[in-house]
């Protein structure tokens, strides 16, 4: 309990010190700004070290002239701003629609790919990763060492398109033997 009180007291001391420093910095800034207009008043609130380092009257402000915008000009600028906003929203909408179409196309391709993989798997074929191409799926057939022949025999065919061609050939052979 006492330890918790000591920790809270240290934390409160840190917060008070931070607030004091912030207030002192704000007072120095305001005093430096005022020293340009009224140096005698500012010298009473400005710290001596800062006054010696920067000097009086080195930082000042200036009031800018009022804007010459008429209500008609403001309305015109508002209409132009609204027009640019509408154009930006239209452009965002178009890019979002094209991104959604591209994403939908990619999802369809991905779905087709996994349907093919599933049909191969359901066809009773054993699937594995290619030894030299870990990102490529392969179909294992025959003996285990027979799989290493597929990439060398069909270097430009993907395994799935190879499977489709084998499936079609088997289906045609089955149909011709039935007739």
CA of residue 57 relative to chain centroid, distance = 47
Residues 102 and 143 in one domain: no
Residues 129 and 174 in one domain: yes
Provide the residue range defining the domain that includes 104: 70-112
C-alpha gyration radius of the chain: 39
Concatenating the DSSP letter of every residue in 77-103 gives HHHHHHHHHHHHHHHHHHHHHHHHHHH
Residues 131 and 108 in one domain: no
Residues 129 and 108 in one domain: no
Residues 132 and 107 in one domain: no
Residues 21 and 50 in one domain: yes
Residues 169 and 142 in one domain: yes
pLDDT at residue 43, rounded to an integer: 78
pLDDT in tens, the chain (179 residues): 788 889 899 999 999 999 999 998 898 888 888 888 887 877 788 788 888 888 787 777 777 777 778 889 999 999 999 999 999 999 999 999 999 999 999 999 999 988 888 888 888 787 777 778 777 777 776 655 544 445 444 444 455 665 666 566 556 555 555 55
pLDDT at residue 157, rounded to an integer: 46
Name the residue with tokens 């088997």.
170
Stated pTM of the model: 0.38
The answer to whether 107 and 114 are in contact (CB under 8 A) is no
pLDDT at residue 149, rounded to an integer: 47
Per the domain annotation, does 104 fall within a domain?
yes
Per the domain annotation, does 118 fall within a domain?
no
Residue 140 sits at the vertex; the CA angle it makes with 113 and 176, to the nearest 5 degrees, is 80
Per the domain annotation, does 14 fall within a domain?
yes
Helix axes 159-178 and 71-122, enclosed angle (nearest 10): 50
pLDDT at residue 154, rounded to an integer: 47
Overall size of the chain counted in residues: 179
Residues 168 and 138 in one domain: yes
pLDDT at residue 142, rounded to an integer: 61
Residues 131 and 173 in one domain: yes
Per the domain annotation, does 65 fall within a domain?
no
Could you give the number of structural domains in the chain? 3
pLDDT at residue 77, rounded to an integer: 92
Per the domain annotation, does 90 fall within a domain?
yes
The answer to whether 116 and 110 are in contact (CB under 8 A) is no
């Amino acid at each position: 309990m006492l330890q918790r009180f000591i920790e809270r007291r240290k934390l409160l001391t840190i917060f008070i010190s931070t607030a004091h420093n912030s207030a002192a910095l704000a007072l120095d800034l305001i005093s430096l700004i005022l020293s340009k207009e009224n140096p005698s008043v500012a010298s009473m609130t400005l710290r001596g070290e800062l006054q010696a380092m920067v000097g009086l009257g080195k930082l000042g402000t200036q009031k800018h002239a009022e804007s010459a915008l008429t209500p008609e000009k403001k309305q015109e600028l508002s209409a132009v701003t609204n027009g640019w906003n509408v154009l930006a929203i239209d452009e965002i909408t178009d890019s979002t629609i094209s991104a959604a179409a591209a994403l939908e196309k990619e999802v369809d391709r991905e779905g087709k790919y996994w349907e093919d993989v599933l049909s191969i798997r359901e066809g009773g074929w054993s699937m594995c990763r290619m030894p030299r191409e870990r990102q490529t799926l392969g179909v294992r057939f025959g003996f285990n060492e027979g799989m290493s022949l597929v990439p060398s025999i069909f270097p430009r065919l993907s395994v799935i398109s190879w499977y489709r061609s084998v499936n079609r050939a088997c289906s045609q052979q089955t149909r011709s033997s039935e007739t």
